[in-house]
Amino acid sequence: MQSKPRVNGSIRLPWAEENSKQHSLRRRPQFQFNPTIQPKYKTKPSDPTSRRTWKEADSTPRRLFLRLRLLLAASTESPIGPACRYKSQRDPHLNLLESSSSCLVASAGGFYCLEPETVPFASPVSWIFLWLAAGWFGWLLEPESVCRWELVGSSGRMVAAVMTAEQVVAALREECATPASRLDEVAAAMADEMAAGLAEEGGSKIKMIVSYVDNLPNGSEEGLFYALDLGGTNFRVLRVQLAGRERRVVKRDTREVSIPPHLMSGNSSELFGFIASVLAKFVEDEGHSAMFSDKQRELGFTFSFPVRQTSITSGTLIKWTKAFSIDDAVGEDVVAELQTAMEKQGLDMRVSALINDTVGTLAAGSYYDEDVVVGVILGTGSNAAYVEKAIAIPKLEGELPKSGNMVINTEWGNFSSSCLPITEFDQALDKESLNPGEQIFEKLISGMYLGEIVRRVLLKISSRCSIFGNVDQIKLNTQFILRTPDISAMHHDQTPDLRIVAEKLADNLKITDTSLETRKMVVEICDIVTRRSARLAAAGIVGILRKIGRGTPGHNRKSVVAIDGGLYEHYTEFRQCLESTLTELLGEDASKSVAVKLANDGSGLGAALIAAAHSQYLN
């Protein structure tokens, strides 16, 4: 006697009754018999926990065919190992996933879990029963019924968790995709924004700041020069001895000093007075030098805060960032403030150049290689500077420089375009940031944000399935607890069991006892986020090169890009991806004339070098 199906319990098909201890097919339907009630859909139909009506899924004949296809697929033995998914080429609604202990078949309506791996049908009679069961089962459901298919046993739940996690990763992979066609659009949009920013102030999302640096160091500089690097809670003073092309930098001394917290919110005279006192002591420690008996010492000043520069030796502070809040300095010339403070200390030193760290990177690169035309920062933050023809800068006022060139600080971190691959994780990060709607490009590519994006992806996976087991949600919900050095370590993990990945997850997020497959998934997430970052950075560089007519077919003049920053220097996968993407976008022939080089300490050495290149004592 055949068992009758129950609406509110397990349904066992007639052909499975005689082997009920070996084979089971279970579902837990929730019927809505009122055809006037429309169900709500909150998730995609492909989600294992989604609910959808059969009417919405397909017509009744199609449902019947799907059931038959589904059961036929379940009857096929294919012992190919754990967690292997099959997708029908002809029927995208049908998926087959096998694990070591169960066979999971997914159709448009949900999931079936059959135990054990195969369902034997030894005779034609069995196939007839199968066909009848599929038809009876398809017609059983009301058109407006809402069904959710649930997996059988712990292995089934684990399979569901894996599939849910894979769906999140697959969506991330698709949304972060950066094919060459998209990157070409990014490069073109970058070049267009650059041109608009050069045309007039405020004409572009990227500021295209005129640096007033019209001569870059070339290696011929000689003498003793100083640098001050102020950009955070610490500042550095440097002394650099230059000895011409043959010997270059023969000596370099550095001192780093912490700024007392009360000076970061006091008044400008106190802050610059403290800095000048450190400079004076630094000079005093070197002893008497006959070199400065008849001339001033010269200083390059790297000031990493927003300024409105009016010449190479002057710039008014627009606003403080980071931990600084000194109201009376806003709107004042920071060079004049420092110059006054040094005079009060009795220090005979002149500020020869006011720069930012990106211009310094360009200078540091140019000092060792005159073919350097672009300087890029790829570290905690990101920016780019390059050499532009002065006649191509409509907003440049006054007499054109004798060199015919001008270094432009692009501030490309604020670049934004509809062609950028932005995900829900990027949108949430931006919304919760201190500067929502700003620095979009930087938030996609810089080292400060990559680890945070990965954390947000892991948080979503954890909220939707139990693949990580019992997770400390406090840790996983803590912003910026996962840093880019952490994802770099996981991404580069070459151990057979991905031991470093396990350690980083445990140490930073308190995620323990992960499977090897789960750790591989985490590495893939790191790869997706990092590759997008590197490829977008490469597209930005290509945009700059194309703006100045470099890196194009038929253009054989060598063009070198100098890059500074820990993201590029220490993250090998990032660096290799960026360089290969440059070749991909430029083409084999054009890429032969473009090179990328590491340039260290642009904010320190670069400032001293620009001071030398703009010395008042040059012939």
Residues known to be catalytic: 236, 304, 357
CB atoms within 10 A of CB 328: 11
> Residue 361: which of 373, 375, 351, 374 has the closest Cα?
375
In terms of Cβ atoms closer than 10 Å to its own Cβ (0-12, 13-18, 19+), residue 607 is buried
> Residue 390: which of 202, 121, 210, 120 has the closest Cα?
210
* Cα 460 to Cα 465: distance, rounded to the nearest angstrom: 9
- The DSSP code for 325 is -
In which element (H, E) is residue 317 found?
Answer: strand 314-317
In terms of Cβ atoms closer than 10 Å to its own Cβ (0-12, 13-18, 19+), residue 538 is buried
Residues in a beta bridge with 113: 104
In terms of Cβ atoms closer than 10 Å to its own Cβ (0-12, 13-18, 19+), residue 246 is exposed
Displacement of CA 5 from its chain's centroid (Å): 53
Given a contact cutoff of 8 angstroms between Cβ atoms, the answer to whether 325 and 264 are in contact is yes
Give 389-423 as a 3 state SS string: EHHHCCCCCCCCCCCCEEEEECCHHHCCCCCCCCC
Q: What string of DSSP letters covers 137-167?
A: HHHHS-TT-EEE----HHHHHHHHHHHHHHH
Compute the C-alpha angle 507/513/515, nearest 5°: 115
Given a contact cutoff of 8 angstroms between Cβ atoms, the answer to whether 571 and 484 are in contact is yes
> Residue 410: which of 197, 146, 229 has the closest Cα?
197
Residue 321, classed as helix, strand or coil, is coil
